[in-house]
Every structure is written in structure tokens, then in C-alpha cells.
Structure 1
Amino acid sequence: MKTNRTLLAITALFLSITSWTLAQSSLDARDIIQKIDKKQEVQYSNAVIRGTLDLTELANQKRVNNAKLSTEEYKSRVEVPLTFRNCTFKGDIIAYKTLDRDGKSRSNWLGSDQILYTADFKEKVIFENCTFEGKTEFKYSEFAEMAVFNDNKFRNEANFKYADFREDARFEGSDFSRSANFKYADFRSAALFANARINDYADFKYAEFDNGASFLKTRFNGSADFKYAEFARQGDFSGADFRSNPDFKYTKGRRTM
């Protein structure tokens, strides 16, 4: 009887896992790009997205003049709300890339002989409880509305260097397996990282926090660099867990530890 009960339990577990797997929809990243180009709202739950979601190659891509950079730049604009909940991204999410003149990618280098491709977001962006197995490249992106990245798992470096958050930026409860790059990021409204975990380098060097920042109970397993960061209002680090000494050299503004 005990053996039968064990077999029944295993069978029930297998059926449960199978049902959950079948409930997951799978789609190609190109389907999402097509919806954005058609100005259709993007909203997915419990989906597996395959392929590279390259937001720098939208139909509205235009060449722009950037006074701060000497390189040639092309900008795409996501003009519809994006909502992803409980989704898994198998490939990269690209809102920033650089290419040589011959089309070769050189994402870690930007020179006068490079062509820069970026994407801005004009509507609300929500990624909640998602897993990013590839790269997440949002360098130089502007988020005009609220940007929600709560309870996500970033398996590779999360690159938000130079990102401009016009409204609340929420990364609460997210797990960064590698580095979290927010160097030079501009948080014009609330920056919320409460209960997040950053396992590698947390780079907030030169970041500007214009309207309060919460790192309540955030866990920094690697180096935490806030050198030259500016807190126009209070930066709350209550209960934050620093596994190595954080660098607040030349930081401006009030902080609660």
C-alpha cells in the first residue's frame, strides 16, 4: 500500500508539472516587435520569449543628434505600454548596442568610429517576477513613465548605465546574479531597491537620486560603489546588508544607515 501511495504521489506531481509547463505560452521575440511597430499594447503573462528582443531596430528608428557624444546615433521609441509578468526571456533584451561600420557588434566600446543604437520608452514599462537569462541592455534609455522591475531574476549583468528615469524606478525584491550597473543613472522620482539582492558589483557611481531612494534591507554581496552619487533627499539604507565596505566617497546628501 505504501508503494502504491508513493506511485500515486509521484504521478500527481508529474501531472502537476506537466500541466504547468503546458500552461506556459511560447512566442518569438519578433512577434513582440511586430506589435510595437503596429502601436499595439504589449501584455504577456506566464510566457516564454525566445530569441533576441532588439528594441533598437523599430520601424520608427531615426538618426538623432546627441551633443554629448561624437558618434553617430540612431534612436527607436517604444510608444506603447509594455507589461510582462511571470515571463522568462531566453534571449537578450537589447535597448542599447554599438556596431562597427562593417556591422560587427562591440557592445562594450563606444568610439567615434562606432554607430550607437538606443531605445526610449514613452509609456509605462512593467517587468514583474520575470527571469532574464540573457543580457539586459538599457544603457542610455529614457523611461518617460514608471519603470517597474520588481521581483525579477537577472542572470547576467543588468546594464542601466546613463538611464534616465523620469518617474518611479522600482527594482524591489529583484535578484541580480551578476553586476547591477546604474552608473550615471538619473532617478528623477523615487528609486526603490528595497529587499533586492545584488550578488556582484553594485555600481551607482555618479548616480543622481532627485526624490529619495530606498535600499531598505537590500543585500550587497559584492562591492557597492556609490562614489560621487548625489541624494537630493534622503537615501534610506536601513537594514541593508553590506558584505564588504561600501564606497560613499564624495557622496552628497543625507543617508540613513
Structure 2
Amino acid sequence: MKSKRISLLAAAFVLAFAFSVQAQSSLDAADILRKIDDKRQVDVRDAVIRGTLDFTELSNQQRMKSSRMANDEYKSRVEVPLTFRNCTFKGDVIAYKTLEKDGNQRRNWGNDQTLYTADFKEKVVFENCTFEGKTEFKYSDFDEIAVFNDNKFRYEANFKYANFREDARFEGTEFNDSANFKYADFRGAAFFTDARISDHADFKYAEFNDEVKFAKTRFGGSADFKYADFNRSGDFSNADFRNRPDFKYAQGRYKLESNF
């Protein structure tokens, strides 16, 4: 009996060690991009992603006729489903960038710069992940459901001008910096239930075409919903605004509780 008990303990130790190794597995961002270029579905779990995951540099990159400015514009398209669960991104996750003629990167788009963006044609899932670098999804189109639940963004999460054609889910997500959804277009439902936004929450000019839920969401900094359009319903029940939010010129149906 004693020998059997020792064997069981040894087996449990081996299983625990194996899980620990799996949980600490490391993956290079370049390997993920190569898989996307090969049109293979990406499903990564319990991994540390090293390097910059730059979706704007795929092999299907095309030069576009810019409708925004006279600058050059290049578009890449992610044509396979993406799933990342319980992952840590050590580098930046980029679907938007601008480069000057000398190749240096700048955050804001101005004269003599080239714009690079990426669209997502299939379902996108980032769930229970930690983003330790920048996250840039400005101008990105998400054709299928986009799931960003229970994530942690260390720096600003930039979804300015993003177009969500199906449901967008950011439930339980922690934005340790700003959450930038200015001019974002939510054609499906949008869920920010129980999210935490430590700094500025920018939903100015956002278009909510279906239901949107900010129930139990905590806004630690300023919250800008100026000119936002709630076409169906806006649920802010038990939302925690640490500062008075700005709903000036907001349209549609939404209900605020007077907790500020």
C-alpha cells in the first residue's frame, strides 16, 4: 500500500511539472505570423509570446488608394481564425502603424508618412491575456465576432476608428491605461460588463448600432461619450464613474444611474 501511495504521488508530481512547463512555454511572434501567411488557423494557449506581433506585415499586404490623406497606405488581411487564451504578450501587438520616409515609426499620422493597417476576416479571440506592450487596432475591421474578455492592457488599448461588424466583447477586461474607442463603429452588440478602465475612457463619436452593456463597469478616469449614438439601448446599471462622465450631444436610448 505504501509503495502504491508513493507511485501515485510521483505521478501527480510528474503531471504538475508537465503542466508547469506547458504554462511557461515560449513562442516567437514571427512563428505566429508565418502560420497566418500559410493560412493555418492559430490557436495558442498558456504561452508567452515574445517579439512584436505585427499583423500589418503579412505576405498579402496590398497598397491601397488612401481615402484619408494623400499618403501611401498598405493593408494586410488576417484570413484565418485567431485564438489566444491565457497568453502573455511581451512585445507589442500591432494592427496599425505609421512610418516616416526614413523608416522610423511614429504614433500619429501626418505628412510624408505611410500608413499600415490590418483587417481580420475571421473570428478573433484574445481571452485572459496580458498585453505588456502596446496594442494598436486603429482602423481595423473585424468581420466576425471579436472577443477580448478578461484581458489586462498595461498601456493604452487603441481601437480608434475600429469597425466591429459582429459582436464585440470586452467583459471583465482591465485597462490599466486609456481605452480608446473614439469613432469606433459597433454594428453588433458591445459588451463591456465588469470592465475596469483606470485612465481615460474615450467613446466620443462611437456608433452603437445594437445593444451595449457597461453594467458594473468602473471608470477610474474621465469618461467621454460625447456625440456617441446609442441606436438600441445602453445599459449602465451599477456602473462606477469616479468622475462625472460627458454625454453631451449623445443620442439614442441609454440610462444612467445618478451615482456621480
Partner of 1:29: 29
Rounded Cα–Cα distance in structure 2 between residues aligned with 1:255 and 1:248: 10
Please state how far the C-alpha of 1:21 moved relative to its aligned partner. Answer: 5.1
Please state how far the C-alpha of 1:168 moved relative to its aligned partner. Answer: 0.3
Q: Which amino acid aligns with 2:194?
A: N
Please state how far the C-alpha of 1:17 moved relative to its aligned partner. Answer: 8.7
Give 1:1-257 correspondences, 5 Å limit: 20=20, 23-107=23-107, 109-257=108-256
Rounded Cα–Cα distance in structure 1 between residues aligned with 2:23 and 2:233: 44
Please state how far the C-alpha of 1:67 moved relative to its aligned partner. Answer: 1.9
Cα displacement string for residues 120-169 of structure 1 (whole angstroms, at most 9, x for unaligned residues) = 00000000000000011000000000000000000111000000000000
Rounded Cα–Cα distance in structure 2 between residues aligned with 1:100 and 1:23: 39
Structure 1 residues 17 and 156 mapped into 2: Cα distance closer, same or farther (>3 Å)? farther
Rounded Cα–Cα distance in structure 2 between residues aligned with 1:249 and 1:153: 29
Rounded Cα–Cα distance in structure 1 between residues aligned with 2:240 and 2:23: 38
Between stretches 17-26 and 80-89, larger displacement belongs to 17-26
Rounded Cα–Cα distance in structure 2 between residues aligned with 1:114 and 1:63: 14
Residue ranges of structure 1 left out of the alignment (5+ in a row): 1-14
Aligned length: 244
Asked if 1 retains the 8 angstrom alpha-carbon contact of 2:22 and 2:47, the reply is no
Rounded Cα–Cα distance in structure 2 between residues aligned with 1:175 and 1:44: 21
Please state how far the C-alpha of 1:254 moved relative to its aligned partner. Answer: 1.1
Q: 3-state DSSP class of the match of 2:43?
A: strand
Rounded Cα–Cα distance in structure 2 between residues aligned with 1:21 and 1:201: 38
Aligned-residue identity in percent: 70
Structure 1 residues 223 and 104 mapped into 2: Cα distance closer, same or farther (>3 Å)? same
**TM-score normalised according to structure 2 size:** 0.90
Q: Which amino acid aligns with 1:24?
A: Q
Please state how far the C-alpha of 1:70 moved relative to its aligned partner. Answer: 2.6
Please state how far the C-alpha of 1:24 moved relative to its aligned partner. Answer: 2.3
Cα displacement string for residues 93-119 of structure 1 (whole angstroms, at most 9, x for unaligned residues) = 010000001101112x21231100000
Cα displacement string for residues 4-41 of structure 1 (whole angstroms, at most 9, x for unaligned residues) = xxxxxxxxxxx969962553221100000000000000
Q: 3-state DSSP class of the match of 1:31?
A: helix
Rounded Cα–Cα distance in structure 2 between residues aligned with 1:241 and 1:24: 36
CA RMSD in angstroms comes to 1.7
Q: Which amino acid aligns with 1:114?
A: Q
Q: 3-state DSSP class of the match of 2:30?
A: helix
Rounded Cα–Cα distance in structure 2 between residues aligned with 1:185 and 1:22: 37
Asked if 1 retains the 8 angstrom alpha-carbon contact of 2:22 and 2:46, the reply is no
Between stretches 41-50 and 62-71, larger displacement belongs to 62-71
**TM-score normalised according to structure 1 size:** 0.91
Q: Which amino acid aligns with 1:47?
A: A
Please state how far the C-alpha of 1:72 moved relative to its aligned partner. Answer: 1.0
Q: Which amino acid aligns with 1:161?
A: K
Q: 3-state DSSP class of the match of 2:80?
A: coil
Please state how far the C-alpha of 1:65 moved relative to its aligned partner. Answer: 1.5
Q: Which amino acid aligns with 1:129?
A: N
